[in-house]
């Protein structure tokens, strides 16, 4: 298992990637990635909720 520091570094690198998505136009955000697949907006929202869960359940609880 990776150390907490390594996981935090990887998550911080993901922030840079997500910030780069701001440059995309609206149509790109709402177009499915492939037929029958999620949109980019759906994928990012899913990751955000997963990260929120990880923060609350994995990181904050372990720091108490």
Predicted confidence band of residue 1 (pLDDT cuts 50, 70, 90): low
Predicted confidence band of residue 64 (pLDDT cuts 50, 70, 90): low
Region 5-18: what's the mean pLDDT? 82
Q: Tell me the C-alpha distance between 1 and 13, whole Å.
A: 19
Give the distance, in angstroms, between the CA of residue 43 and the centroid of all CA atoms in the same chain: 8
**Residues in CB range of 4: below 8 A, 6 or more apart:** 59
pLDDT tens string 19-55: 999 999 999 999 999 999 999 999 999 988 887 888 7
Burial class (CB in 10 A: 0-12, 13-18, 19+), 39: middle
At 2 the pLDDT is 66
């Amino acid at each position: 298992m990776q150390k907490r520091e390594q996981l935090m570094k990887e998550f911080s690198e993901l922030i840079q990637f997500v910030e780069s998505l701001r440059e995309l136009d609206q149509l790109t955000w709402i177009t499915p990635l492939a037929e029958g697949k999620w949109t980019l907006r759906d994928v990012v929202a899913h990751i955000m909720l997963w990260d929120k869960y990880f923060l609350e359940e994995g990181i904050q609880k372990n720091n108490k």
